[in-house]
Structure 1
């Protein structure tokens, strides 16, 4: 079965509220593995648990749309490259080694990506507590920091660079320790609400957008051009 994404060779990226994901007709904790259910049960706050479950459901829905199969047919696993444990780390589909997946969740909003090429996604709320402060100086290159500090809204400018860099971590091109050595200052910081911005960074396609309905900044990166799709039931 050939899907539209396969025809275009584009990784799929979806952003939705956690509540919308869990209202999807295919959603449910029955999709989760025993390890995932155990992790979900350890959250002290119900909101954190909901976001975790929604993120792990959404990545299955995204991959299911890519492959043209029911979400229930997919098993999601994780493995940490540092310690080898299976309760955290980069997600993958053991039964579909040719498919790459990524997920992210923040308060009430989740994002996921799936493709036949490496893909990384990150989502963060635009309304955040605190300020950029020492965090920006630790994770931004000097030229990036100068642009952020000169921006009309430095916190929002930092958030844009942050989701970009987090997406690089998700795709395996960076770590928290190396973020400050990656310079993305040539990319524009001004991303209009609802208007995705496409750019290139080295060999990667970068897709930035602001989701005003969620109050969130989103970034997706892949070796192919990512494509935003809506959360809809399979048809």
Structure 2
């Protein structure tokens, strides 16, 4: 799981370029709130790193679905997004665990 404080300040495009794929960057450029959109992608990447499904050495290799596009999953991991005015977050859960929980 990862959570980040969200605001509508400016996005550091240099940072975004170093951790996002071209597909993700394209979505950020077209979003009305690119910093919030970036944070939504970032918490997805961080949640996968924290469960051992990726590393922060090359976060752009985590080619994830862009937030709001379906399906919100990646190589057997379900990405459970949430957020509000002040924070955004994501929990990465194995698909089979999610299915067992939903029963």
TM-score for the superposition, normalised by structure 1: 0.38
Greater relative contact order, per chain length (Cα 8 Å cut-off, separation 6+)? 2
Number of residue pairs aligned between Structure 1 and Structure 2: 97
Structure 1: state its 5+ residue gaps: 1-120, 190-197, 228-235
SS state of the match for residue 185, structure 1?
coil
**Which structure has greater helix proportion?**
2
Q: Is the 8 A contact 1:147 1:185 kept in 2?
A: no
Is 1:140 aligned to residue 20 of structure 2? yes
Conserved? CA contact 2:65–2:73, under 8 Å: no
C-alpha change, 1:136 and 1:178, in structure 2 (3 Å) is: same
Larger radius of gyration: 1
* Residues 1-235 of structure 1 aligned to structure 2 (within 5 Å): 121-127=1-7, 131-188=11-68, 199-212=72-85, 215-223=86-94, 224-225=97-98
TM-align CA RMSD: 2.3
1:175 and 1:128, CA in 2 relative to 1: closer, same or farther beyond 3 A? Answer: farther
TM-score (ref. length: structure 2): 0.80
